[in-house]
């Protein structure tokens, strides 16, 4: 029986990547040692990290005047590091609130400055992306922050906000590399690795050079982007094995045809599930407005909570794992990141139709 892991994160990794890591576990490239045992300042590991950065730059078309940092602390640490580094003497920041992760960013930023909540989806229980025309932007804000995809609510931006000369900051933790992205539109992009990049423990930060080095000099050394930019993410020991796996994922993505090709697969996967939901005659429902539905995280419920429990039990028996919705949302959630094969989504769609037929 095929097993498909729909976990929201840490999430499924490409099978090819896991097999390669398995083969190289004890001896990387004839070095005689595992990547986990290497000195992070040795030529073997440094070549791994340099290649990972080069491949990420190629995949995303990252301009030369942007730094790529491999950090720790998850996206959660960035909620504090961003205002600490990007305030540059200003008193407030603009943040768009589209759900749980936006709210966490707001809460942390408020420890350091005034937060102008420029728009919010709270009025409709975070089931949509507020229209840009409704945003109350401040031209004097230090930056504008938004979450490109809310993993819990299943709300995704299918457009990039135009915010003038104010730096645009994006939490792309759950949809980075799933669609083409013009990095030059952003001042800073950050993403925890554990959804579309690799295992938990690595955080990627892509930051425009002119935004580096302007933090308060009293800022702790490890919280200053300049520290990591000046030391090629090796001021301290980086999460070496996680970066190695991320590098393998980047190489796998290149073999798939790159980000543009991956986007077409992601569109097809998401369409399969939403067509089942919308065509179920009300047996299944998704609360998100159609224009703002996520390609990465598909939340849904049956018409009865008791049926949700039965659905999850039967899905698990079919090898369709980790479909239980977040505790704040209930129901089910299918996370279909880059590494989820089309065959897995087809298997889930087939089961959903069978379940609806048997219980409808």
Confidence band (pLDDT; 50, 70, 90) for 151? very high
Of 232, 255, 278, the one marking the end of a domain is: 255
The answer to the question of residue 198 being in a domain is yes
* pLDDT tens digits, one per residue of 241-275: 999 999 999 999 999 999 999 999 999 999 999 99
Number of compact structural domains in the chain: 2
Owning domain of residue 281? 258-359
Q: In whole angstroms, give the CA distance from residue 205 to residue 184.
A: 14
**Percent of the chain residues past pLDDT 70, beyond the cut:** 100
Exactly one of 195, 269, 301, 324 is catalytic; name it: 195
Report pTM: 0.97
Last residue of some domain: 255, 286, 312? 255
**127 and 104 inside one domain:** yes
Classify residue 9: in a domain, yes or no. Answer: no
Residue 206 shares a structural domain with residue 278: no
With b for 16 or more beta-carbon neighbours within 10 A and e for fewer, the 55-86 pattern comes to: bbbebbebeeebbbbbbeebbebbbbbbbbbb
pLDDT for the residue 104: 98
187-204 pLDDT, tens digit per residue, is 999 999 999 999 999 999
The answer to whether residue 210 is catalytic is no
Mean of pLDDT values over 17-44: 97
Residue 1 confidence (pLDDT) above 90: no
* Separation of alpha carbons 276 and 274, rounded Å: 5
pLDDT of residue 135: 97
Question: CA torsion, points 150, 153, 154, 155, in degrees to nearest 10?
Answer: -60
Per residue in 46-63, pLDDT tens?
Answer: 999 999 999 999 999 999
- Specify the DSSP class assigned to residue 145: E
What's the farthest any 2 CA atoms get from each other in the chain?
Answer: 65
Q: Are residues 233 and 189 in the same domain?
A: yes
Asked if residue 235 has pLDDT above 90, the reply is yes
Residue 360 has a pLDDT of 80
pLDDT band of residue 328 (cuts 50, 70, 90) is confident
Section 212-234 average pLDDT: 96
Active site residue 195: yes
- In-domain check, residue 6: no
Whether 101 is catalytic is yes
126: left (phi over 0), alpha (psi -120 to 50) or beta: left
First to last CA, the chain: 26
Tell me the backbone φ, ψ of residue 115, rounded to 5 degrees. Answer: -110, 120
Q: Which of 147, 160, 153 is nearest to 108 (CA)?
A: 147
DSSP-derived pairing of the beta strands 203-208 and 66-71 = antiparallel
If asked whether residues 242 and 265 sit together in one domain, one would say no
Give yes or no: residues 163 and 278 share one domain.
Answer: no
**Pair 265, 233 in one domain:** no
Which residue among the candidates 55, 94, 171, 224 is catalytic per the annotation? 171
Q: What is the mean pLDDT of the chain?
A: 97
Catalytic residue, chosen from 28, 55, 101, 292, is: 101
Q: What is the pLDDT of residue 247?
A: 98
Q: Both 41 and 151 in a single domain?
A: yes
Q: Check if the beta carbon of residue 184 is closer than 8 Å to that of residue 202.
A: no
Do residues 326 and 244 both lie within one domain? Answer: no
């Amino acid at each position: 029986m095929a097993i498909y892991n729909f976990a929201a994160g840490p999430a499924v990794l490409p099978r090819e990547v896991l097999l390669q890591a398995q083969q190289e576990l004890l001896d990387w490239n004839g070095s005689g040692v595992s990547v986990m045992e290497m000195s992070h300042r040795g030529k073997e590991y440094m070549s791994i990290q340099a290649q990972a950065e080069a491949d990420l730059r190629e995949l995303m078309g990252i301009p030369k005047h942007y730094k790529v940092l491999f950090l720790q602390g998850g996206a959660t640490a960035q909620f504090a590091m961003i205002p600490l580094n990007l305030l540059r003497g200003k008193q407030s920041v603009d943040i768009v609130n589209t759900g749980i992760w936006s709210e966490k960013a707001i809460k942390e930023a408020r420890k350091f400055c005034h937060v102008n909540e420029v728009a919010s989806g709270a009025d409709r229980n975070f089931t949509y992306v507020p229209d840009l025309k409704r945003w109350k932007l401040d031209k004097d804000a230090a930056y504008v922050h938004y979450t490109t995809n809310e993993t819990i609510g299943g709300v995704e931006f299918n457009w990039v906000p135009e915010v003038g000369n104010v730096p645009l900051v994006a939490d792309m933790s759950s949809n980075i590399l799933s669609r083409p992205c013009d990095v030059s539109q952003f001042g800073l992009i950050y993403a925890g690795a554990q959804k579309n990049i690799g295992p938990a423990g690595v955080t990627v930060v892509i930051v425009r050079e002119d935004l580096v080095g302007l933090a308060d000099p009293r800022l702790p050394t490890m919280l200053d982007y300049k520290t990591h930019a000046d030391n090629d993410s090796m001021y301290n020991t980086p999460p070496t094995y996680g970066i190695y796996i991320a590098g393998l994922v980047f190489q796998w993505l290149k073999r798939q045809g790159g980000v543009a090709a991956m986007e077409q697969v992601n569109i097809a996967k998401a369409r399969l599930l939403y067509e089942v939901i919308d065509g179920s005659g009300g047996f299944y429902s998704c609360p998100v407005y159609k224009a703002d539905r996520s390609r990465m995280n598909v939340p849904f419920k049956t018409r009865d909570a008791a049926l949700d429990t039965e659905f999850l039990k039967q899905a698990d028996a079919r090898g369709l794992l980790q479909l239980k919705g977040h505790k704040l949302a209930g129901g089910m959630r299918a996370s279909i990141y880059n590494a989820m094969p089309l065959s897995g989504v087809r298997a889930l769609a087939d089961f959903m139709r069978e379940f609806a037929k048997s219980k409808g």
